[in-house]
């Protein structure tokens, strides 16, 4: 649907193309973003117009706008550029809600406190392998244990992104809702928790929000690591979890971080999480990746033989979600191109369309990501300028290069504007200090690291 010359296109054609570009970007983003996060942050974003290389998007409020910029901006920009390289900028426009009814804002019934469950996330559709067997067994038995009141109060699941945490948590919620009578179970993402809290504080509804949270029998919260580093929401979560435990309720948490590594100010809450039933889902091994692809292949419109699945398993070594995306994208490619699923055709597809998850990151990759993130030029990065932003960018570039690449400190200094060994050591120490004391800095580093992995 690409239009060769948008300047000559009609208004309707421009709008249609704008919607097409954003629709394609959303489909691509689903492969990298947790379904719960996607539903919370992306379903209410719409495309306004594409003008002079800038895509204008409408977002519901400032909170959503800030969250998108801080957590997903680089990823969105990359996907849009892959679809149309002429798109150089993204502008997020906040909807005008000045005329909204204040009374309606104060009704929590008009603003769902908890997230919706995805009907696809049930135990029957969960792939079971050696690495997640314990997590699956504990989750599946939870309904029976809770109904008989023979369970731990806190369950803490942790694993890397895309390893099935959300699927398990929503399966637990769906199972409890359907099988345990008079039992109130609710699921929500960390982003939804923070949104609820900010809305409650602004509208003087904190008491009402706490009442809704503490009436739940089984309280399930996903992506808990996003709450860490935000003092006010941390305090509110500590209040909620301690209230629920004192009332004998069940709390189920999922995170990408082990409870031992959580940055929580409230040591009582951290101690509760460390002493909880901690369940770790390991990275998938070679055999499990192949079994997972065979699992997805059962319901696929094109049936691939084992040799083809082995090729995919060897190429995509990251997580469950990316393996599922790989087999879906391959199916789409073969269907659209009318090609047969031969090993030869699959090899060509892999060569051109699938990047190896074991990717070597170069110094050039790092400096490109950092300069884009901080909106400075490479010339400024390598110059003698010493503004706060530029120095911070050098600190991050030097440390990431040391951690990710095989370069020596001397080589990093030469690449970073011919700086000496002592300067690079100073940058690394500065990075360590910032990482220990600045939650916003940690968040920026995680965004940068994620952008380098894509």
Intrachain domains 109-280 and 363-453 with the same fold: no
Q: What is the rounded distance in angstroms from the CA atom of residue 79 to the CA atom of residue 16?
A: 18
Rounded alpha-carbon distances, angstroms, from residue 69 to 59, 62, 373, 443: 11, 10, 10, 12
Structure tokens at 222: 């996903």
What per-residue confidence (pLDDT) applies to 62? 72
Rounded alpha-carbon distances, angstroms, from residue 166 to 33, 36, 171, 267, 305: 11, 7, 8, 26, 30
The packing angle between helices 343-353 and 320-337, to 10°, is 120
Q: Is the dihedral of CA 19, 24, 29, 31 positive or negative?
A: positive
pLDDT tens digits along 322-377: 777 778 888 888 888 888 877 787 787 776 666 544 456 788 889 988 998 888 88
Please report, for the chain, how many H helices and E strands are present, in that order. 21, 8
Alpha helices, H only, 338-437: 343-353, 363-374, 378-382, 388-404, 409-415, 421-437
Query: Is CATH 3.40.50.300 the classification given to domain 109-280?
Result: yes
Q: What is the rounded distance in angstroms from the CA atom of residue 188 to the CA atom of residue 157?
A: 15
For the chain, the helix, strand and coil percentages under 3-state DSSP, each to the nearest 5: 60, 10, 30
Burial class from Cβ neighbours inside 10 Å (0-12, 13-18, 19+) for residue 370 reads buried
DSSP 419: -
What per-residue confidence (pLDDT) applies to 155? 92
pTM tops 0.95, yes or no: no
Q: What is the rounded distance in angstroms from the CA atom of residue 149 to the CA atom of residue 204?
A: 36
Q: What is the rounded distance in angstroms from the CA atom of residue 230 to the CA atom of residue 59?
A: 23
Q: Is 164 left (phi over 0), alpha (psi -120 to 50) or beta?
A: left
Query: Is CATH 3.40.50.200 the classification given to domain 363-453?
Result: no
3-state secondary structure of 130: coil
Q: Which residues pair with 90 in a beta bridge?
A: 55
Q: Where are the domains of the chain?
A: 6-94, 109-280, 286-353, 363-453
What per-residue confidence (pLDDT) applies to 318? 64
Between the two ends of the chain, the Cα-to-Cα distance in Å is: 26
What per-residue confidence (pLDDT) applies to 1? 44
Q: What is the rounded distance in angstroms from the CA atom of residue 188 to the CA atom of residue 218?
A: 11
**How is 273-294 classified by DSSP, letter by letter?**
HHTSEEEEPPPP-HHHHHHHHH
Contact call for residues 282 and 165 (beta carbons, < 8 A)? no
Segments in the chain below pLDDT 50 = 1-4, 97-110, 356-358, 454
Among 164, 69, 157, 168, residue whose Cα is nearest residue 117:
168
Query: Is CATH 3.30.2320.80 the classification given to domain 6-94?
Result: no
Q: What is the rounded distance in angstroms from the CA atom of residue 352 to the CA atom of residue 339?
A: 15
Q: What count of Cα atoms within 13 Å lies in the side-chain half-sphere of residue 364?
A: 1
Q: What is the rounded distance in angstroms from the CA atom of residue 363 to the CA atom of residue 226?
A: 29
Burial class from Cβ neighbours inside 10 Å (0-12, 13-18, 19+) for residue 94 reads middle
**How is 308-332 classified by DSSP, letter by letter?**
HHHHHHHH--S-HHHHHHHHHHHHH
What per-residue confidence (pLDDT) applies to 103? 42
Q: What is the rounded distance in angstroms from the CA atom of residue 104 to the CA atom of residue 122?
A: 34
What per-residue confidence (pLDDT) applies to 354? 65
Contact call for residues 156 and 276 (beta carbons, < 8 A)? yes
**Beta-strand pair 54-59/46-51:** antiparallel
What per-residue confidence (pLDDT) applies to 230? 67
Q: What is the rounded distance in angstroms from the CA atom of residue 199 to the CA atom of residue 105?
A: 9
pLDDT tens digits along 5-36: 555 667 788 888 888 889 888 888 887 777 77
Q: Which residues pair with 62 in a beta bridge?
A: none
What per-residue confidence (pLDDT) applies to 3? 45
């Amino acid at each position: 649907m690409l239009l060769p010359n948008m300047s000559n296109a009609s208004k309707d054609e421009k709008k249609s193309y704008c919607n097409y570009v954003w629709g394609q970007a959303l489909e691509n983003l689903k492969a990298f973003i947790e379904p719960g996060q996607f539903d919370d942050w992306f379903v209410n974003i719409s495309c306004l117009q594409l003008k002079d290389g800038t895509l204008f998007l409408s977002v519901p409020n400032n909170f959503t706008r800030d969250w998108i910029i801080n957590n997903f901006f680089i990823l969105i920009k990359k996907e849009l550029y892959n679809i149309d390289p002429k798109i150089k900028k993204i502008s997020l426009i906040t909807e005008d809600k000045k005329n909204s009814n204040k009374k309606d804002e104060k009704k929590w019934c008009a603003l769902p406190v908890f997230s919706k469950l995805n009907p696809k996330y049930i135990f029957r559709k969960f792939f079971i392998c050696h690495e997640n067997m314990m997590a699956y067994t504990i989750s599946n038995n939870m309904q029976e244990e809770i109904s008989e009141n023979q369970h731990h109060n806190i369950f803490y699941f942790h694993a890397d992104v895309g390893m099935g945490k959300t699927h398990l948590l929503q399966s637990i919620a769906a199972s409890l809702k359907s099988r345990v009578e008079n039992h109130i179970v609710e699921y929500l993402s960390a982003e939804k928790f923070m949104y609820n809290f900010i809305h409650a504080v602004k509208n003087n509804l904190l008491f009402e929000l706490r009442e809704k949270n503490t009436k739940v029998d089984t309280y399930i919260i996903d992506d808990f690591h996003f709450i860490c580093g935000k003092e006010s929401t941390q305090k509110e979560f500590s209040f909620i979890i301690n209230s629920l435990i004192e009332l004998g309720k069940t709390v189920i948490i999922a995170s990408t971080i082990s409870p031992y590594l959580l940055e929580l100010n409230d040591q009582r809450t951290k101690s509760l999480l460390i002493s909880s039933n901690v369940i770790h889902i390991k990275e998938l091994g070679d055999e499990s990746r192949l079994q997972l692809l065979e699992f997805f292949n059962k319901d696929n419109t094109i049936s691939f033989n084992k040799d083809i699945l082995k090729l995919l398993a060897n190429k995509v070594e990251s997580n469950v979600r990316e393996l599922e995306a790989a087999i879906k994208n391959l199916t789409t490619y073969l269907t659209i191109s009318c090609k047969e699923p031969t090993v030869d055709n699959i090899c060509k597809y892999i060569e051109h369309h699938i990047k190896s998850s074991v990717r070597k990151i170069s110094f050039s990759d790092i400096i490109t990501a950092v300069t884009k993130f901080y909106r400075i030029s490479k010339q400024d990065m390598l110059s003698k300028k010493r503004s706060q932003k530029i120095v911070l960018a050098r600190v991050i570039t030097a440390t990431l290069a040391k951690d990710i690449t095989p370069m020596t400190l001397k080589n990093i200094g030469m690449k970073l504007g011919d700086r000496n060994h002592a300067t690079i050591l100073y940058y690394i120490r500065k990075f360590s200090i910032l990482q220990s004391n600045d939650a916003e800095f940690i968040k920026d580093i995680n965004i940068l690291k994620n952008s380098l992995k894509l």
